[in-house]
Amino acid sequence: MSGTDEEGGLHTGSRVNDFAVKVATVNGTGSASANGLILKVIHRMEIPVSGKNVFPSNIQGLPTWYELRMSRQGHLARTPRFDLIVAMNPSTYARDVAEVQPGGWILYDDSWPLSKTLIRPDVTYLGIPLARLCIGKFAGSRVRVLMKNIAYAGALAALIGLDMDIIRELLEETFSRKKALLESNYVAVALGYDYARAHFDCPLPIRLEKMEPGHRHILMDGNTAAALGCVYAGATVGAWYPITPATSVMDNFTMLCKRFRTEPDGTKNFAILQAEDELAAAGMVVGAGWMGARAFTSTAGPGIDLMSEFVGLAYYTEVPCVFFDIQRTGPSTGMPTRTQQGDLLTIAYASHGDTKHIALFPADPEECFHLTVAAFDLAERFQTPVFVVSDLDIGMNDWRIPRLQWDDDYHWDRGKVLGEAELAELESFSRYLDVDGDGIAARTLPGVSAKGAYFVRGSGHDKHGNYTEDEEGYQEVVDRLVRKLETAKSALPAPVIGRREGACALLVCLGSSDAACREAIDLLAARGLAMDLLRVRAFPFSQDVDALLAEHDMVFVVDQNRDGQLCTLLVNETSVEKAKLHSVRHYSGTPISAVHVLDGVLPVLDPATDGTAATSRSTRQAKCPRLQA
Amino acid sequence: MTSIKKPRIYMPKLERNALGLTRMDYEGGMSTLCAGCGHDSITAAVVQAFFELGLPPHRAVKLSGIGCSSKTTAYFMPQAHGFNGVHGRMPAVVSGANAAQRELTYIGISGDGDSLSIGLGQLCHAIRRNVNMLYVLENNGVYGLTKGQFSASSDLGSKSKKGEHNQDGPIDPVSMALSVGATFVARSFSGDKEQLVPILIAGLRHRGFAFIDVLSPCVTFNDHEGSTKSYTFIRKSTSEVVGTGFVPIKEEIATQYESGVVHPVTMHDGTTLYLRKVDASYDPTDRGVAYANLRERQERGEIATGLLYIQEDSADLHVREKTVATPLRDLPFESLCPGSAGLEKLMDEYL
């Protein structure tokens, strides 16, 4: 977390490339462009940075925030501790002023006086008459509002040391064809920059310094990366119904297909179907997957609910298809523009009857890309729905990730598909016959051969694909589905395991909790408490997950949901003793931070930090002795 | 109980089509519907239509939802791939399948519960997308598998077997299809195979969404006095507006055409469809005329039948989407994956 030293206390002196800024603005005023610009400048200064949008379910007029965290150590999880607040929205002044750390700064528009009730003695106020400056320079209210945002970026350039050359470079890239806009942006940046330099001691102790160009990183959101994964995996049919925060998966797939999948004559080797609802989107994906195309849909929790009936059909009829769930805060409509990991249980067992599904959990956009490609292979290899479970934090925020790499030796795995030649060698074809003993029966594609024709039915069927209400015939098929998923376990992406010497406990997480957990483990190590990390990347869990759980007497399971859904899945699907699991939960709608993890872990791991746990202090301390420094 | 296979009887003198196949080659498993069910007659008409078309069964795809009607896809063309999905959602499955493989012939069989209640939205939107398929709505005005509840096509006041009168107004599938832009709209009767078979053939040849409402009495739950979907009531009330045929003798047609009674329509596959109009002033290519005529007859208590509207030059899903000629599912990986060079270049835009 920003602003913490090794013991988790606050820094007081100069902090280069290690602090956090929060920008409070109004939705729909163009602040996203200014914030995006700031993020990119810092990124191009080679400083590890994350930018998280905290936005309302609204197009224009409601408060919105943008959180920037810079960390030279590369800790890029969200931090709830802000050193500088850019307060541009009077309607949230009170909340914003309260959020800044003692010793921090508040940059605000002093075109109008600040209410006395907002004055804190422990922070420094930096007033810049941004609105007044913009009124003097620009004509038209819309332009003035837009330029005010660019002006605060200019002020930040002076205050925290954004590189002015890179700002110019980025503005030129953005407005290369709109010279007038380029000029006004320059003017606006200079307004803020010059005023700050003239009135304040610039830069502040929290400031940026260019770092050495290291690995070649990019800034990309997870939905773009997932869409790119679909293109690279050879997906040809995308069906969807618009829903926040999943919409940009299909928007990006559309954009990328226009570029990569359009023939010179304008014809397309893809089809994107905007369905009437998520039920239809799921049906389309099942239809296309059955027909032999790589097909996918992208949605969020409410969509998954509607798709569940088709998910069960695809599971039972063994049709490959890929579902993206970009999770948001539930239940019901919940907070559609806030993040959560609330759909884990829904997805694991989606649909009625006995079902269980393969789910992959990317932790960042880089994994969104690679696990998407894996999802299509797994779906076809195991002829079943596969879920890529991301969330709003990964999907809609720009993350600093290594440049995506592609191995040209990769070739898709279509699984067991019998063509005309293979069918000719068979006496007869039975759709659900386990010939190889791995639980996976070979399929055929419609229209290829009369011999391979069969009837897909959601009703009871036997191993030949025929309708049945016969006890044994029915049971034989559903039992084989269990064996098929057992086979799948070893083919799923392996968990990521981080071991620390002398570890006394295990921290388990998935998806976007990763960065916060890794940072928490570093902070604990600094306190002399060593923990292993287990990040699961797939469901059903592999043997490795079971083994690592068995190794530890104390296991903390981190969930970004109220009910500890990952914890429930571990209890349900591994042989772990329930008593040794401690659930750590964060579910307010904001991305989890290391602070949240520590708050959940420390009272148990190190009761000295928590008076309420003092009674069991001695035994617990014995369980987890501090390492000698 | 498992499905029942029909016995194959060797009959060398059966009529053969262009592929050398007999009608029996297009027949499927034994029907498990009630004896006398209208749906079985429709199945026979479907068999006849595919036989006459001379289509290789494995190049056809048959799909359905849930209900008595949806069972019938098992009763024809066992060598065609079939998909019996979830209730009311067949149109979505066809949309996806057709998007993936544009070259196959798609037939969807549904009922009034499947199409007009649980699946009304799906049907409307498949029509809007103009998916290239034949959609047969086997309409009996009753829920058969759950034993006799009114359906959305039950007429106001129509009596159930238990003696209740229907209080809710019906959804007329033909008016609905016309109003949401269907490019081929017909109505027929399971008991009129002569009318139904040519319409089915025309529907299979139509490029786009061919919609046929086929009145198909339920002998067990809706064939009594007081029902408006009984054999007796339908026979009494149907009135053919347009007859359909593929007539090969050109001169004969030319003479009739001059009289304004026969309306030729060139199908996208080059064949000509001849529509025999009962009323010379009726124009089956004018949606407004079709709609007005339908309303007029409804008010007179008549059920208009025949191929009521056709728009043959319509763009189907693939034309609109501008997809490549090769079925998407057959595109090789190399043509789909931009490779490392493409990625490397793209990454520069995310710096």
- Chain segment A380-395, per-residue pLDDT in tens: 999 999 999 999 999 9
The alpha carbon torsion through B136, B141, B145, B146 (nearest 10 deg) reads 140
Amino acid (1-letter code) at residue A188 = A
Q: A243: how many CB neighbours lie within 10 A of its CB?
A: 19
Q: How far is A516 from chain B (nearest CA, A)?
A: 24
pTM metric for this prediction: 0.95
- Judged by DSSP in three states, A530 sits in coil
Question: B349 to chain A: nearest residue by CA?
Answer: A218
Tokens of A431: 């759709």
Partnered with residue A507 across adjacent β-strands are A533, A556
Confidence class of residue A3 from pLDDT cuts 50, 70 and 90?
Answer: very low
Q: How far is B262 from chain A (nearest CA, A)?
A: 36
In the prediction, which pLDDT does A598 show? Answer: 97
Cα–Cα dist B306/B318, whole Å:
28
pLDDT at residue A93 tops 50: yes
A550 near A624, Cβ under 8 Å?
A: no
3-state secondary structure A201-250: CCCCCEECCCCCCCCCEEEEEHHHHHHHHHHHHCCCEEEECCCCCCHHHH
Cα–Cα dist A318/A286, whole Å:
10
Residue A238 dihedral angles phi and psi, to the nearest 5°: -120, 125
Residues of chain A with Cβ-Cβ distance to B2 below 8 Å are 462, 466-470, 473
> Does residue B125 lie in a domain region?
yes
- Chain segment B8-21, per-residue pLDDT in tens: 777 778 899 999 99
In the prediction, which pLDDT does B299 show? Answer: 93
pLDDT at residue A124 tops 90: yes
Q: How far is B40 from chain A (nearest CA, A)?
A: 19
In the prediction, which pLDDT does A10 show? Answer: 42
In the prediction, which pLDDT does A12 show? Answer: 45
Residues 6+ apart with CB under 8 A from B271: B205, B246
Domains, in order of start, for chain A: 15-207 (3.40.920.10), 220-402 (3.40.50.970), 420-477 (no CATH), 496-623 (3.40.50.920)
In the prediction, which pLDDT does A628 show? Answer: 47
pLDDT at residue A7 tops 50: no
Q: B273: how many CB neighbours lie within 10 A of its CB?
A: 23
In the prediction, which pLDDT does B120 show? Answer: 98
Average pLDDT over residues A464-471: 95
In the prediction, which pLDDT does A608 show? Answer: 73
Radius of gyration over every alpha carbon of chain B, rounded to an integer in angstroms: 21
Nearest residue to A512 via CA among A404, A343, A298, A364: A364
Residue A344 dihedral angles phi and psi, to the nearest 5°: -60, -45
Residue B249 dihedral angles phi and psi, to the nearest 5°: -85, 110
In the prediction, which pLDDT does B260 show? Answer: 60
A219 and chain B in contact, CB less than 8 A? yes
Residue A474 dihedral angles phi and psi, to the nearest 5°: -65, -50
Q: Where are the beta strands (DSSP E) in A300-380?
A: 321-327, 358-360
Cα–Cα dist B4/A491, whole Å:
40
B146 and chain A in contact, CB less than 8 A? no
Q: How far is A295 from chain B (nearest CA, A)?
A: 9
3-state secondary structure chain B: CCCCCCCCCCCCCCCCCCCCCCHHHHECCCCCCCCCCHHHHHHHHHHHHHHHHCCCHHHEEEEECCCHHHHHHHHECCCCEEEECCCCCHHHHHHHHHHHCCCCEEEEEEEHHHHHCCCHHHHHHHHHHCCCEEEEEEECCEECCCCCEECCCCCCCCECCCCCECCCCCCCHHHHHHHCCCCEEEEEECCCHHHHHHHHHHHHHCCCEEEEEEECCCCCCCCCCCCCCCHHHHHHHEEEEEEEECCCCHHHHHHHHHCCCEEEEECCCCCEEEEEECCCCCCCCCHHHHHHHHHHHHHCCCEEEEEEEECCCCCCHHHHHCECCCCHHHCCHHHHCCHHHHHHHHHHHHC
pLDDT at residue B2 tops 60: no
In the prediction, which pLDDT does B268 show? Answer: 81
- Chain segment A285-336, per-residue pLDDT in tens: 999 999 999 999 999 999 999 999 999 999 999 999 999 999 999 999 999 9
Give the count of alpha carbons within 13 A of A524, CB side only: 35
Question: A46 to chain B: nearest residue by CA?
Answer: B351
Q: Which of B83, B105, B345 to mutate to probe the A interface, most A CBs <10 Å?
A: B83
> Does residue B307 lie in a domain region?
yes
Q: Where does residue B78 rank: exposed (0-12), middle (13-18), buried (19+ CB within 10 A)?
A: buried
DSSP A92: G
Name the residue facing B1 among A271, A283, A469 (closest C-beta).
A469
| A471-489 helix and A301-317 helix, angle to the nearest 10 degrees | 120
Cα–Cα dist A84/A123, whole Å:
9
Name the residue facing B337 among A44, A232, A404 (closest C-beta).
A232
pLDDT at residue B344 tops 90: yes
Residues 73-112 of A with CB under 8 A from B: none
Least confident of A77-86, A439-448, B263-272: B263-272
Range of the domain at B296: 23-326
Share of chain A above pLDDT 90, in %: 91
Residue whose pair of structure tokens reads 């050359």 in the numeric block: A165
- Chain segment A499-517, per-residue pLDDT in tens: 999 999 999 999 999 999 9
Confidence class of residue B280 from pLDDT cuts 50, 70 and 90?
Answer: confident
> Does residue B177 lie in a domain region?
yes
Tokens of A420: 């005309």
Residues of chain A with Cβ-Cβ distance to B101 below 8 Å are 291-293, 446-447
Q: Are strands A321-327 and A295-299 parallel, antiparallel or unpaired?
A: parallel
Q: A626 vs A66, which has greater pLDDT? A: A66
pLDDT at residue B249 tops 90: no
Q: B325: how many CB neighbours lie within 10 A of its CB?
A: 9
CA distances to A1, A362, A516, A606, B155 from A626, in Å? 22, 33, 22, 9, 80
> Does residue B334 lie in a domain region?
no
Name the residue facing B95 among A43, A270, A273 (closest C-beta).
A273
B347 near A404, Cβ under 8 Å?
A: yes
Question: B74 to chain A: nearest residue by CA?
Answer: A455
Q: Which of B19, B33, B58, B180 to mutate to probe the A interface, most A CBs <10 Å?
A: B58
In chain A, what's the furthest Cα-to-Cα distance?
88
- Chain segment B315-342, per-residue pLDDT in tens: 999 999 999 999 999 999 999 999 999 9
B59 and chain A in contact, CB less than 8 A? yes
Tokens of B114: 């499947």
Q: What angle do CA A10, A70, A185 make, to 5 degrees?
A: 130
Cα–Cα dist B83/B125, whole Å:
19
In the prediction, which pLDDT does A613 show? Answer: 36
Tokens of A203: 């830069």
Residues of chain A with Cβ-Cβ distance to B324 below 8 Å are 263, 267-269
Cα–Cα dist A410/A292, whole Å:
19
Nearest residue to A396 via CA among A587, A591, A153, A239: A591
> Does residue B179 lie in a domain region?
yes
Cα–Cα dist B320/A274, whole Å:
13
Share of chain A above pLDDT 70, in %: 94
In the prediction, which pLDDT does A28 show? Answer: 87
Cα–Cα dist A282/A387, whole Å:
12
Partnered with residue A585 across adjacent β-strands are A559
Cα–Cα dist B47/A276, whole Å:
33
pLDDT at residue A485 tops 80: yes
Average pLDDT over residues A93-100: 96
Amino acid (1-letter code) at residue B105 = T
Here the contacts of A602-608 (C-beta below 8 Å, separation 24 or greater) are A604/A554, A604/A556, A605/A504, A605/A505, A605/A524, A605/A529, A605/A531, A605/A554, A605/A556, A606/A527, A606/A529
- Cβ–Cβ of A276/B125 closer than 8 Å? yes
- Cβ–Cβ of A236/B325 closer than 8 Å? no
Name the residue facing A455 among B56, B84, B98 (closest C-beta).
B84
End-to-end CA distance of chain A, in Å? 22
Average pLDDT over residues A29-57: 95
- Chain segment B238-248, per-residue pLDDT in tens: 999 888 876 44
Confidence class of residue A471 from pLDDT cuts 50, 70 and 90?
Answer: very high
E strand or H helix that includes residue A133 = helix A130-137
Least confident of A165-179, B28-42, B148-162, B277-291: B277-291
Cα–Cα dist B209/B129, whole Å:
8
DSSP A139: -
Cα–Cα dist A263/A270, whole Å:
11
Mean pLDDT of chain A: 94
Q: A193: how many CB neighbours lie within 10 A of its CB?
A: 22
Least confident of A341-345, A495-499, B10-14: B10-14
Question: Does the N-terminal peptide bond of residue A203 adopt cis geometry, omega within 30 degrees of 0?
Answer: yes
Confidence class of residue A487 from pLDDT cuts 50, 70 and 90?
Answer: very high
- Chain segment A570-603, per-residue pLDDT in tens: 999 999 999 999 999 999 999 999 999 999 999 9
Residue whose pair of structure tokens reads 């290789």 in the numeric block: B56
pLDDT at residue A541 tops 70: yes
B183 near B193, Cβ under 8 Å?
A: no
Split into its structural domains, chain B has a count of: 1
Least confident of A398-407, A496-505, B2-11: B2-11
End-to-end CA distance of chain B, in Å? 63
Cα–Cα dist A460/A467, whole Å:
6
Mean pLDDT of chain B: 92
Residue B303 belongs to domain with CATH number: 3.40.50.970
Q: How far is A355 from chain B (nearest CA, A)?
A: 16
Q: B333: how many CB neighbours lie within 10 A of its CB?
A: 14
Which ranges in A318-442 belong to alpha helices (H)?
A: 344-348, 365-382, 392-396, 420-425
Residue A327 dihedral angles phi and psi, to the nearest 5°: -65, 145
Size of the A and B interface in Cβ pairs below 8 Å: 225
Tokens of B215: 């009145």
Cα–Cα dist B167/B118, whole Å:
19
